[in-house]
Each structure stands twice: as structure tokens, then as C-alpha cells.
Chains A and B, each alone.
Chain A
Amino acid sequence: MSEKLLIVKDLSTTFATAGGPLPAVDGVSFDLEQNETLGIVGESGSGKTVLSRTIMGLQPRTNVTVTGSATINGFEVVGASEKAKREIWGTEVAMVFQDPMTSLNPVMRIGKQIDEALRVRLGMDRAAAKARAIELLELVGIPSPVERYNAFPGQLSGGMRQRVVIATALACSPKLLMADEPTTGLDVTIQAQILNLLDELKERLKMSVILVTHDLGVVATRTSRIVVMYAGRIVETGNTRDVFYHHRMPYTRALLESSPKVSNLSHTRLTTIPGRPPNLLNLSDGCSFAPRCSYATDQCHLVRPPLQAADEPGHAFACWNPLPTTRGASSS
């Protein structure tokens, strides 16, 4: 278990846009153990989706610059050719996309969409691929998979479609599964089912999972570690427990306060984060969160805070005026 499955070092993704270079991901580093689940959390536009695609190498080939390094099971993704990356896509790393309404080909039978990966990547013959595809549909909990094999995506509900997307991602037994907001497009009741399914599959298939979400509630019980992103950078990272209970970065607290909790009384007013996320085309030299932060000082506006280690192992945050440590006060 000491072998790291994924090592991300100083990864940056910059888009060339009409308005100038746009740093969507800026100097991100983290790593992932075998059979671990990591959460990447942030508001819309924090760069988490771009980050997850860059790690896979799925970013556009033109108008974008990627620097730094991301190695999946020893394979350096950054700078690799599309052809080389095809070798790891599906077998080493696979992605569950955000919106099952758009990520399945609407004019292709779902069975075909699963077994084409098996046939092209694993060289299975038609019959074997079909059998395996039906097995996969069963694995992700689709009732009467034999009949569903011939269905078109439009004939399935959103939750069922997302199960198909998951089955497709699992087809070639990837070691790392990237789940990019896998439940955003779904009904609340279906969300938990899909997340539980991912959990269960991870244990059963001995995968590692990166769960990208804007909802801290989603990652609370399902991840061992969390990366909090803001404006393309990591602002806090650590074990899930530490991030929840001993966070130092005001942004993390704001995120936590803005997510609803079951324990809240009904009609509890949710806190919102004041202001808007910054314009990435026009970032200041200081902390990107400073304009929205009530603790901000002149230093925050002028100098960017580096990630610094907190008391707990593996816990780090980027803030000049961190929240006081709660260790000792709350004995956990």
C-alpha cells in the first residue's frame, strides 16, 4: 500500500482565451494511495472539474497549457501524446461524468456503449463483450440488464443512466475512478444511491476514487482526505476529519456553513458566502479569497499565502490569518 497510485505535482492548466491567459488550475500538488477515496471540494468555477480532467489528460489539445506533473501508476500524463494516453484511459483511469443526460451517446444502444470499450481495449469478441456488458449492468444495479442492453439512453431515467455511465467507466477495470460531480444532475433521493454504489464498488473492485463535488456533505463520510480548492488553487487539505473539525482557512468554514445539515432545525437560515468568486483573468497578487473574507488584512490583499502545515499530520492550509486551532477545545 505504500506505492502511490497518483502523484500530482505543481500542476497548472492555463487556457488561452480572448481576454488573455486564464489560469484555471494553478500549482496544485497532492497524491493518492491505492484504494483510497479523496474528495476535491470547491464552488463552481474553482477549477475542480478542469483539475480532474487535466489529471486524466482529457483537457483540450489546443489553446491550453499544462505544466507540472501528474503520474498515474507511474505513467506521466502531462505531455503524453493522445495515443499514449489512450493506453491508460479506461484501463488505469476512467471518469464518471457529471451529467448522464449528455454524457451518453443518445443514438447508440447502451449495451454497445459499454461493450465497445471491451472490444476495442480488451480485444474481446462480440459474444464475450456482450456477456461482460450485461454483467456490468447487473453490477451497477440495473434491473433486467439483458433487456436494458438494447435500450437507448433516452429510455432510461437519470439515475439509471448514471449507473450506465458508471458501468462504462468500470468496463476495463480501472485502478482509479474519477467521479466529477457524479450526482449533480440527479434527484436528491437518487444521489445517495449513486454515491453508495460508488462506495460499494470501490471496496469490491479495490479501486481508488477521486470524488469531485461542491457539496461537503457528499464527501463527509465517504472520503479519507479532502482537498479544498478556490480560484484554481488548493487552499486547505487534510484528513476528512481534520478539515471538518479543525479547519483553519476561513473559506473552508464558509463552505461548511453554507451546506445544509440534517441536524439543523427546519427553517434554519443557510449562510451564504458574500461576494462573487474572482475573475480568473484578473487575479490579484494576494489571496484570491481576500475580497470576500472578513478576516482579511492588507497583507492578504498584497501577498499570496503559501500552503503551510497545520498541527495535524497531512493537514495544510493557505492563510495569513488562520482561524484559531480548535484542538484541545474540542477533544476528538
Chain B
Amino acid sequence: MRRLVMLIGIVFVISIGSFYLIHLLPGDPAVVILGTGASPAAKAILFHQLGLDKPVYLQYFAWISNVARGNMGTSFISQSSVAATIRAALPIDLEIIVLSQILAFAAAIPAAMRSARKPDGALDRLLGASSFTLLSVPPFIIIVLLVLLISIKLGIPHTGPSSYVTLASDPIGNLESLSLPAFTLAIGSFVVYYRVLRSDLIATLQEEFITMARSKGLSQRRIMWRHAFRPSSVALLGTASVNIGGLLASGFVVQYLLAIPGLGYTLITAINMSDYLLVQGIVLTVSVGVVVINFIFDFIINIVDPRISRE
């Protein structure tokens, strides 16, 4: 309940921040939005649309009530609805993130389990050193190198820049064109998840209740999965939750390189074209999205570990 209040408070702060972005700029917002060469008529329309003739708090209420109804205004550059543009782009980001997270968890969990069973063993050392190295390779380098290797050297179709295929037209091609972005994001996530889960598992395996489980005559496999994994997965979920913002940003980078029309590509294009209403809409959507996802993760963590809600 306290968290819900907090959530509403944060969303409120974000909305004010997004709303004020334009007002924080030096100079006339109309000039900022429309450019210096705008006609007085266009300025008048904008003033009316933004309600700039009213006091600031009324402007905010007018704006937020529109936003709440799904109306984020109409872009002055492309003349299309901001909300519709976002609705078209958002599923691509979600698809990339979901794919990458499936890959990352599928690799990180077994790897951490094996590492934690024999800390300082050969596998653990190898994974430790390579994950530490990968930690220092930013996603924009990973994706460039992957494109260089996979789409240019090996010539795999649909993986290079500007070769995005929509899900509706060709599901397989769509998967191919999103495979490099998903893989890039998966590498970054894997490294973090592996390290967090491994060190937590090692700590959990030293707990007395693991000895107790052992003394019941349970198999090592059962002890790892039933007794060690769940208490250790709390930190993993927390990390995944914190990771969401970074994932979105990494997604932006890979979309930008490959010209995949997700939110990131749309955002950068909008920035370059000074389409400020679209930028504002995307920033608001993404920020609120991240906060809500974090909130959902908090909720899941409470279910996984009953200790937390009692504290």
C-alpha cells in the first residue's frame, strides 16, 4: 500500500518533469517547438494546444488530463498523433526485451548453478573472468561487432541495418531481424544476472538449512533447485528490475544502428528533427513504463520471499 502511494508519487514527479522539459528550455517554447521560422498562425495554434495563455498549473492539468485520455498531441513535424506513433513502435521494444530476457535467464541460471556448486573450479574461473571482461564492453560496441561479423562477414539475411521485417509479414524474418538486438541485450543481462545469482547462491549454500536439507537425504539436484534457488533469486529479480531502464536504453542503441523502427529509433529521429512533442511523449511513456515494471517486480519479489513483506 505504501508502495502504491510511492508509485503514484513517482509517476506524478515524472509527468511534471516531462511536462516541464519544454519550459526548462531557454527562450520561447513556441520557437523551441516550431523553430524560428514559424508563422504566427502556427504559433497561435500551438499556444492554444499547449494552453500557454493560461497559468502554468492549469496548463499542466490540461495537458495531463489529455495524456490520461491517451492524447499526447499531434506532432508538428509529421502531423501524426504522438500516441499512435508510440503505439506502433512500442511492441518492437517489448519483443526485443522479452526475447533478450528469455535468452539471458536461460543461460545465467544454469551457469550460476554450476559455478556455485564448485566455486573456484575451472568453469567458475572461466565464467568469472569472461563475465568480468564482458562487463566492460558497452552494448553499442557489441552490436557493431555482431553486425560486422554476422551480417557483413557471414551475410545472414535480415540481420543488417535497415532490414527490419515486421512480425505480421514474416514471423521468421522478424525473428531474424531482431536476433542481433536481442542477443546484444542478452549478453549484457547475462553477465549481470550470472554474477549476482552466483554470489547469492554461494552465500545461500552456506546456510544451515542447506545442511538440514542434506541431512534429510535429498539429492544434490533437489537441494540446488528447491532449497537454494528460491532464496537466492530475490537479488536476481531485484537486479532484473533495476536493469529494465538500462535495457531500454541499450535497445535504443541497437535500434538506432539497425534502423529498427522501435521507440529508440523513433526517439532519435524525433530528436534530430526537433519533434519535441514526440520526444516528450516517448520520454513520458518509457519512464512511466519503467516505474510500473519496477513496481510489478517488487510485488513478485514479495511473493517469492515471504520474509520481505514482514520486515
Contact = CB atoms under 8 A, between A and B. Distances in A.
> Closest 9 A-B residue pairs measured CB to CB?
A89-B217, A102-B208, A90-B217, A86-B217, A117-B216, A105-B209, A152-B306, A103-B208, A103-B212
Contacts of B208: 97-99, 102-103
12 contacts: A87-B217, A95-B215, A97-B208, A102-B208, A103-B209, A106-B209, A106-B231, A107-B304, A108-B227, A117-B216, A154-B306, A171-B216
Interface stretch (B124-132, B150-158, B218-226, B284-292): B218-226
A168 interface: yes
B65 interface: no
A59 to B, nearest CB: 10
Contacts of A99: 208
Nearest to A85: B217
B231 A107 contact: yes
Interface in B216-257: 216-220, 222, 226-227, 230-231
B53 interface: no
A89 B209 contact: no
A199 interface: no
A127 interface: no
Contacts of B209: 102-106
B304 A165 contact: no
Contacts of A108: 226-227, 230
Contacts of A87: 217
Contacts, number: 82
Range of interface residues on B (Cβ < 8 Å): 20 to 34
B3 interface: no
Contacts of B87: none
Given A152-B306, A154-B306, A105 B227 contact: yes
B307 A120 contact: no
Contact of A154 (B216, B220, B227, B307): B307
A58 B211 contact: yes
Contact of B216 (A102, A107, A121): A121
Contacts of A106: 209, 231, 305-307
Contacts of B46: none
Contacts of B211: 58, 97, 103
A165 B212 contact: yes
B219 A86 contact: yes
Given A90-B215, A107-B230, A107-B304, 4 more contacts: A86-B219, A97-B211, A99-B208, A107-B307
Contacts of A107: 230-231, 304-307
Given A99-B208, A154-B310, A89 B214 contact: yes
Nearest to A120: B218
A102 B217 contact: no
Interface string A96-135: 0111001111111000000011001100000000000000
- Give the interface SS of chain B, mostly helix, strand, loop or mixed: helix
Interface residues of A, number: 33
A165 B216 CA distance: 11
B304 A120 contact: no
Nearest to B230: A107
B218 A116 contact: yes
Contacts of A116: 216, 218, 222, 226
B33 interface: no
B217 A105 contact: no
Contacts of A209: none
B99 interface: no
Nearest to A95: B215
A99 B219 CA distance: 23
A290 interface: no
Contacts of A89: 214-217
Contacts of B227: 105, 108
Interface in B32-54: none
A105 B306 contact: no
A88 B214 CA distance: 12
A56 interface: yes
A229 interface: no
Contacts of B222: 116, 120
A154 B222 CA distance: 23
Nearest to A82: B220
B207 interface: yes
A174 to B, nearest CB: 10
B207 A168 contact: no
A163 B220 CA distance: 26
Nearest to B211: A58
B213 interface: yes
Best-buried of A89, A99, A103, A165 by chain B (most CB within 10 Å): A103
Contacts of A98: 208
Nearest to A87: B217
A286 to B, nearest CB: 35
B217 A120 contact: yes
Best-buried of B211, B215, B218, B227 by chain A (most CB within 10 Å): B215
Nearest to A62: B118
B170 to A, nearest CB: 44
A56 B215 contact: yes
Nearest to B210: A105
Given A105-B231, A120-B218, A97 B306 contact: no
B306 A90 contact: no
Interface string B125-160: 000000000000000000000000000000000000
Contacts of A121: 216-217
A117 B226 CA distance: 12
A91 interface: yes
Contacts of B219: 86, 120
Best-buried of B216, B227, B304 by chain A (most CB within 10 Å): B216
